[in-house]
Amino acid sequence: MNKPSSTKRNLLWLQSGGCGGCSQSLFCAEAPDLLVSLAAANIQLLWHPSLSEASGGDFLNLLEQIKAGEIRLDILCLEGSVVRGPNGSGRFHMMANSPLPMMAWIKALALQAEHVVAVGTCAAYGGITAAGSNPSDACGLQYEGAEGGGLLGEDFKGGSGFPVVNIAGCPAHPNWITETLMVLANDQSDDMAVDGFGRPSSYADHLVHHGCPRNEYYEYKASAEKPSDLGCLMEHLGCVGTQAHGDCNIRLWNGEGSCLRGGYACINCTAAEFEAPCHPFMETPKIAGIPIGLPTDMPKAWFVALASLAKAATPTRLKENATSDHIQVPPVQPRKRP
């Protein structure tokens, strides 16, 4: 049953094993900004580590009241991975002024929440904190890397009956966060589609390749050879935008930016285990000269055939510009015949 629209939705934001980058991203939300978005969705922010004054005993008292069911928790947001080490004790990350580790608080509060949201790839799948040998035994809320499980387990569902919503990204785009919170606050979770990794389809049904400013170079396989070049970054410089789920080049950051617009290859930061690609981020692994990571849904034979044809047809303008740091040959407007 839907709640009356006048009912405030209580949101609690916790940070665990991470850098705080998703909060920094969220504070840069525009059109509308964060506070306007929360007000429009009728969300009351119970606590956020950067925005709230309560600390120490006051903060712990708030958590105890939520845990006891005395304060309703509509949305629990976790930023950063769950730290379970050493040996499953969680004592690598203790809650200040509390005998309990952070992971115990996260689990107890998740059981009280109507909706649970993992903000960023760390909270969703473990992310950067779980890289390498994962000495802190970090995991996501409902995933451990690409496998289901995590702190809450594959079968966990919030009070709404919905599993954890994974707003993956490193960091997550501010509008992915505000858009998801608005949907949940308005009791529209039944209408919110998610993909196979729990990511909202509103952004995960797109590829970073969509809207890429280097698409003309990609079409002709006119490739960059060094980071400052204008050409496509897929063939030599590690870009996986043709496989990465996100609308980064459509819904630009702060209205004008994206990794590719800044000259950086897409490293697929919305994906589970992106932090450990088994090769340098800025290099494209190949077998017999063919990139291992091919565009989504494209058979290898098709790619080889199309790439050969495209390179044979590459205009001189694109060939020269692709390996330059600025446009050497501008497009020419053909003259009309008299």
Same domain assignment for residues 192 and 213: no
In a domain, 198, yes or no: yes
Q: Which domain does 119 fall in, by range?
A: 9-203
In a domain, 96, yes or no: yes
In the listed set 168, 203, 238, which residue is the last one of a domain according to the structure? 203
In a domain, 3, yes or no: no
Residue among 50, 105, 103 nearest 73 (CA): 105
- pLDDT tens readout for residues 231-265: 999 999 999 999 999 999 999 998 889 999 999 99
Same domain assignment for residues 227 and 173: no
Same domain assignment for residues 183 and 239: no
Question: CATH number for the domain including 156?
Answer: 3.40.50.700
Strand partners, 161: none
d(CA 72, CA 109): 11
14: three-class secondary structure by DSSP = strand
- pLDDT tens readout for residues 125-167: 999 999 999 999 999 999 999 999 999 999 999 999 999 999 9
Same domain assignment for residues 272 and 249: yes
In the listed set 203, 238, 261, which residue is the last one of a domain according to the structure? 203
* Type and span of the H or E element at 166: strand 165-167
Same domain assignment for residues 181 and 241: no
What mean pLDDT do residues 70-77 have? Answer: 97
Tokens 């034979």 belong to which residue?
301
In a domain, 328, yes or no: no
Is cis: bond before 86, omega within 30 of 0?
yes
Contact (CB, 8 A) for 276 and 131: yes
Q: pLDDT-derived band of residue 332, with 50, 70 and 90 as boundaries?
A: confident
Q: pLDDT-derived band of residue 272, with 50, 70 and 90 as boundaries?
A: very high
pLDDT at 262: 92
In a domain, 296, yes or no: yes
Angstrom CA distances, 149 to 113, 140, 152, 271, stand at: 19, 8, 7, 16
In the chain, the number of structural domains is: 2
Question: CATH number for the domain including 216?
Answer: 4.10.480.10
Same domain assignment for residues 101 and 198: yes
Long-range pairs for 260-263 at CB < 8 Å and ≥24 separation?
A: 260/208, 260/212, 260/213, 260/214, 260/233, 261/213, 263/227, 263/228
Average pLDDT of every residue of the chain: 92
Q: Is the pLDDT of residue 3 over 60?
A: no
d(CA 117, CA 98): 24
Q: Residue 287: is it exposed, middle or buried by C-beta count within 10 angstroms (0-12/13-18/19+)?
A: exposed
Angstrom CA distances, 185 to 4, 6, 182, stand at: 11, 11, 5
In the listed set 203, 229, 248, which residue is the last one of a domain according to the structure? 203
Same domain assignment for residues 194 and 248: no
DSSP secondary structure letters along 218-234 = HHTT-B-SSTT-SSBST
Entry pTM: 0.91
d(CA 312, CA 171): 39
% of the chain exceeding 70 in pLDDT: 97
Same domain assignment for residues 171 and 229: no
Which of 167-171, 281-285, 299-303, 311-315 bottoms out in mean pLDDT, i.e. has the lowest? Answer: 299-303
- pLDDT tens readout for residues 32-66: 899 999 999 999 999 999 999 999 999 999 999 99
Q: Is the pLDDT of residue 1 over 60?
A: no
Same domain assignment for residues 181 and 40: yes
Kindly state the DSSP code that residue 245 receives in the 8-state scheme.
Answer: B
Q: Is the pLDDT of residue 197 over 60?
A: yes
Same domain assignment for residues 179 and 294: no
